[in-house]
Chain A
Amino acid sequence: MEEETPREKNTCTAIELSFLLAIISLSLYLGYGNAAGHAIAHDFPVAYLASDAFQHQTRAQGLLDAGNYRYEAFYNMRGYPDVVGFYMPVMYHLTAQISLLSGLASYDAIQLMVFFTVIPIIALAYFMVRGFNRNAALIGLGFVPLIFSQGSYSGFLWGHWPSLLSQAFLVCALWSFLNIHEEGMTLLAGLFFAASVLTHTSEAIFLALFIFIYALVLFLKKEMGIAMIKKFAGAFALTAAITIYFMVIFKTAWFDTQGSSYMSLRPEPVWLGGPTFYLQYFGLFIPFLIMGIVAAVLFWKKKNAKFLYPSLFLLAAGCTNYIGFGMRAFTLRFNWPVYLGGLLGLGLYLTAKAAYRKWDIKHSMALAIAILIPVTGLVSIPYVASYQQVSGSITDPYHWQAYEWIAENTPKDAAIYFLYSEHYEQDAVMRNSRRFHALATLDSVRSAMNDMALRRTLHTEVPGDTGGGLIQRTGFMHYATREDNRSNMIDVCTFDYIVVDIVTRSDALTAYNRLFLQQLLKNENNKIVLQNEVLAIVQNTNKSVACMPDEVEIENG
């Protein structure tokens, strides 16, 4: 294995940098550009394909509304105004500042930031592998667009956003710890570690595991002297100082309520929570991956082989679903095409070099371009995963118009009732009404439809982001979890506004909702305040009287 001079190690040539930039741009063009209609600012959220995406977007919006993250926005917390901000805050604060500076709406700003995490991840993964072998790094770039293949794309489209941003900080931290002997790196290592903790703690736990293993390797290689121990300790001390305030909140909100679920000790070979990236997606390239892994392990003591440790570690960490890390392992895999690209590149390079001794970086670039052809979906090759174009959103301009209208035209304490429609199944989208809201459950509406009756009291859920346990502050650095169950039989007439979808995917539901709307409008206290092609918003102007009879029989026909 050829070793490179220190100068080559640290300095990329212009052609290399251009190639790296081209790969990053191509990935963003395919993954972000195509999904977002090649625009950054939109009239409504585009390429939002699951409720979790809205969960994060509305939290960022709540921060913008309140001016700080001391408390969660009441509309995200079932109407409670005093729930302490319990989610890891860095992503929301960055979103808020990008939004304020660029004029982008919160939903566009957060999406921009999340897709842009690929820039540091791709670049630093490249620089790290390059620290060991330039050819392997270049060839590995050919696999990068697979982060937007069917398995990985859901990370971006379904809202695993804190994990993705935390992974960007994780990669920066890995790079810093590998270079910790250099000036200033202790500070950067501690800072990136803290940022990872405060963006999505799961990735920081993997980082801690890496640091432990790396320290052990340094010890075995007799490179762990007092000076090095001091640098590691300094980085940890900085991380602890930055994160301690939030970690007290985190303990109450997450560890006390969900701590046991972080690691279940139950192997989970396939993720039931959604698509992710599996090793078999590398298809025909798997033998080269195995070759790269074996070579990286065999070279572990070689000079600069440490730059391959992150790839090996992230491969192993992504496989910890087999020992019970479940979802935490599966979300790491979203970026496997980048993390493992260097190992694939190493396997391919060793093979190519054995076949053709004059192999150089021109050939490596050509090979990367050749790999890009099937990977980008330009030519379909069996058993090789490829980029998959995705478009659309789970919301639409009509519903978005309703959310915006409610947010801008109703009193802050207005209560909003959404009659069931499949649009609201991904319930975090309703938080964009920025008001207390409730949703009739499908079962209650179905039951009323079966009984041929329009009912005023329906089984209703009050959706909210209750994953962190709705914690309250009980004293300085003391917090407690609130008991809450606000789903119940609820009278529609106790709400100020009732949103009725008059177009749904089900003809029966559409007919039912239209009858419900007609019934509401028979009462002179109810009036339509907004109507478009898809829905109507009815204002209940007098909550002290019944807005409709308890039950109205639906006549046949």
Chain B
Amino acid sequence: MRWKLKMAELLKSEWVRLLYIAIGMAIVLKLIFFNESFAGIWRITLALLWIAVIPGYCMTLWLNMRYQLALRLIVGSMASAAIVGIASYYIGIMGIDIWYHPFLIPPGIIAVSVLLYARKKDNASVKDAERG
């Protein structure tokens, strides 16, 4: 279960940075769109975090990408955007109204990423144990 500790440490250090990034993102958006209300800026920031940044970040953990956070966030966000766009198309055709998609797909990406990350690390721990 060492991976759980490692993940907790990683999340502890990186989630704080993610929080700073979210605040920084809102500030930069406010500087560019100074005529937009604060509430509007926050809604947009949170929407982007929810759809792209947070699921993308979780994906990069599972994929074990050894790059710095900034690069992982860019690539991860785009990967999440790709999955959101593609999955939304297909599950919409299957009959699930688009209204539900933002509450299904991004949490789905996060959940699957964390599960796969845990499984991967569990397997690695078992192999380590077998090797003694």
- A residues adjacent to B (C-beta < 8 A): 10-12, 17, 21, 25, 28-29, 32-33, 36-41, 63-64, 67-70, 89-91, 93-94, 96-98, 100-104, 112, 116, 119-120, 123-124, 127, 168-169, 172, 175-176, 182-185, 187-188, 191-192, 194-195, 198-199, 242, 245-246
Contact = CB atoms under 8 A, between A and B. Distances in A.
Contact of B98 (A39, A96, A104, A199): A96
A36 B98 CA distance: 28
B108 to A, nearest CB: 13
17 contacts: A25-B31, A38-B36, A40-B33, A40-B40, A64-B98, A68-B97, A97-B102, A101-B43, A102-B44, A104-B44, A120-B78, A123-B70, A172-B75, A182-B65, A192-B82, A195-B85, A246-B89
Contact of A89 (B65, B67, B85): B85
B98 A63 contact: yes
Contacts of B64: 183-184
Contacts of B36: 38-41
Contacts of A188: 63, 75, 79
Contacts of B35: 37-39
A10 B68 contact: yes
Given A63-B98, A96-B98, A199-B85, A10 B66 contact: yes
Interface string B20-62: 0000000011011111100011011011101100000000001
A94 B81 contact: yes
Contacts of A112: 44
A68 B33 contact: no
Contact of A191 (B33, B83, B98): B83
Given A97-B51, A183-B65, A195-B86, 7 more contacts: A21-B28, A93-B88, A96-B88, A101-B102, A102-B47, A112-B44, A188-B79
A184 B32 contact: no
B40 A41 contact: yes
A203 B32 CA distance: 30
Secondary structure class of chain A's binding surface, majority of residues: helix
Contacts of A91: 85
A195 B41 CA distance: 28
A120 B84 contact: no
A188 B36 CA distance: 35
A143 to B, nearest CB: 20
B68 A69 contact: no
A94 B51 contact: yes
Nearest to A90: B85
Given A41-B36, A69-B89, A102-B43, A94 B78 contact: no
B97 to A, nearest CB: 4
B48 to A, nearest CB: 8
Nearest to A99: B47
A46 to B, nearest CB: 11
A50 B33 CA distance: 23
A118 to B, nearest CB: 12
A49 to B, nearest CB: 20
A98 B51 contact: yes
A63 B89 CA distance: 10
Contacts of A28: 32
Contacts of A175: 75
* Best-surrounded residue of B46, B67, B74, B96 (most CB of chain A within 10 A): B74
Contacts of A198: 85-86, 89
A553 B106 CA distance: 64
B101 interface: yes
Nearest to A89: B89
Given A28-B32, A41-B40, A102-B47, A195 B82 contact: yes
B44 A68 contact: no
B102 A70 contact: no
Contacts of B75: 120, 124, 172, 175-176, 188
A377 B50 CA distance: 36
Contact of B63 (A70, A94, A169, A184): A184
A33 B30 CA distance: 10
Given A94-B51, A245-B90, A38 B101 contact: no
B132 interface: no
B34 to A, nearest CB: 5
B126 interface: no
B101 to A, nearest CB: 6
A180 B83 CA distance: 19
Nearest to B63: A184
A245 B74 CA distance: 28
A314 to B, nearest CB: 17
Contacts of B28: 21, 25
B93 interface: yes
A175 B75 CA distance: 9
Nearest to B70: A17
Contacts of B92: 63, 67-70, 93
Contacts of A37: 35
A106 to B, nearest CB: 12
Nearest to B37: A41
B98 A100 contact: yes
A492 B66 CA distance: 66
Contacts of B98: 63-64, 67-68, 93, 96-97, 100
